[in-house]
């Protein structure tokens, strides 16, 4: 697949992922046009004056809740990257219908608009919290995954295909715990919900490059899961503030001790590749089933979880992750 003759639309294009995705795509692949679809005109303005002012960028104000606006934005589009979502767990718990409208109904609108507009590929971003969800955010992302995968049934003789990428916490994204720990370090005390807690971690750039590569390879119906390291939240806290006291405050509502990227039930239809797992569609025979010939099947009872992962960050790697984020945080504090 060549990107330099494609028109790409990114929902949630002013978010952390959207900005990095657009930066890499424009600098390295130079598509004909990139449409930045988001509902916040201030963020679009700030993005433009921050250097995102190339001639092949278009800023389109709209909300994924508005199917007609999506259809208008997708006119002539070849690839859609669906990154728009409400993702803060407490906010979703307190405002459940708003999360449902954006994450589920918004994803349905993306599906319908893409099909009607003749888009070739739609790649939606998901999360480890969609696996065996215990909070509303995870439940809405699970529903969105199902919508995306099953929507390949609508394609018929058309060229539109839908797939998902599912990965863990993004280092340094908005809502990341790292800036919080850096700030708390000044008080001499860091708050930890539970000392046993583990998480999958991926950098923003790794996530972006994974999505670009999977769009190039997708057949439709797959959920792509990268192989990424785990870290202990306690180790992260000690790396950021080795002298600080760690206060255990108890696990919060809707929070897990460990995250899962591939469940035992999904493992039956999952293929392992060198750098990823591909969850093939279990219920349908349309697309996305050729991966079985390229990789290997998983053993019964396999579970890809953050606590049993074979790949872990060591202290040096954690320090390398934290350093640029710490510099950015301190620079922002000086400006304030």
Q: Above 90 in pLDDT, residue 324? A: no
% of the chain with per-residue pLDDT over 90: 77
Residue 334: the pLDDT is: 47
Handedness of CA 54, 55, 56, 57 (dihedral sign): positive
Contact 267/223 with Cβ under 8 angstroms? no
Residue 261 is encoded by which pair of tokens?
């990227």
Q: What is the pLDDT of residues 150-191, one digit of tens each?
A: 999 887 778 899 999 999 888 867 667 888 888 899 899 999
CATH code of the domain made up of 7-168+202-227+260-306: 3.40.50.720
Q: Which of 210, 192, 212 is nearest to 202 (CA)?
A: 210
pLDDT category at 84 given cuts 50, 70, 90 is very high
Residue 330: the pLDDT is: 60
Residue 199: the pLDDT is: 94
% of the chain with per-residue pLDDT over 70: 94
Q: Which of 35, 1, 32, 41 is nearest to 18 (CA)?
A: 35
Q: What is the pLDDT of residues 214-240, one digit of tens each?
A: 999 999 999 999 999 999 999 999 999
Rounded average pLDDT over 234-250: 91
Residue 321: the pLDDT is: 81
Residue 64 is encoded by which pair of tokens?
């994924």
User: What residues are annotated to the active site?
Assistant: 129
């Amino acid at each position: 697949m060549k990107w330099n003759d494609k028109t790409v639309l990114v929902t949630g294009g002013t978010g952390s992922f959207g900005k990095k995705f657009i930066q890499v795509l424009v600098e390295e692949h130079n598509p004909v046009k990139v449409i930045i679809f988001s509902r916040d005109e201030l963020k679009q303005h700030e993005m433009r004056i921050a250097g995102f002012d190339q001639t092949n960028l278009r800023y389109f104000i709209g909300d994924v809740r508005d199917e007609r606006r999506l259809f208008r934005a997708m006119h002539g589009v070849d690839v859609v990257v669906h990154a728009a979502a409400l993702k803060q767990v407490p906010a979703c718990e307190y405002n459940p219908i708003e999360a449902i409208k954006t994450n589920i109904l918004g994803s349905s609108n993306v599906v319908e608009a893409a099909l009607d507009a003749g888009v070739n590929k739609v790649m939606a971003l998901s999360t480890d919290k969609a696996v065996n969800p215990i909070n509303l955010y995870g439940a809405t992302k699970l529903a969105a995954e199902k919508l995306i995968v099953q929507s390949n049934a609508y394609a018929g003789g058309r060229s539109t295909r839908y797939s998902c990428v599912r990965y863990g916490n993004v280092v340094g994204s908005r809502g990341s715990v790292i800036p919080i720990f850096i700030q708390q370090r000044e008080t001499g005390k860091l708050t930890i919900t539970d000392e046993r807690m583990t998480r999958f971690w991926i950098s923003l750039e790794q996530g972006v490059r994974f999505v670009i590569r999977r769009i190039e390879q997708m057949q439709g119906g797959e959920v792509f899961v990268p192989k990424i390291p785990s870290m202990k939240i306690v180790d992260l806290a000690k790396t950021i503030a080795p002298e600080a006291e760690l206060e255990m405050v108890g696990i919060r509502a809707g929070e897990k001790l460990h995250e899962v990227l591939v469940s035992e039930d999904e493992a039956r239809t999952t293929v392992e590749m060198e750098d990823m797992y591909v969850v093939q569609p279990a219920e349908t025979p349309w697309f996305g089933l050729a991966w079985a010939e390229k990789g290997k099947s998983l053993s019964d009872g396999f579970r890809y979880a953050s606590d049993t992962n074979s790949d872990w960050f060591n202290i040096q790697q954690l320090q390398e992750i934290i350093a640029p984020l710490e510099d950015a945080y301190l620079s922002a504090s000086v400006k304030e």
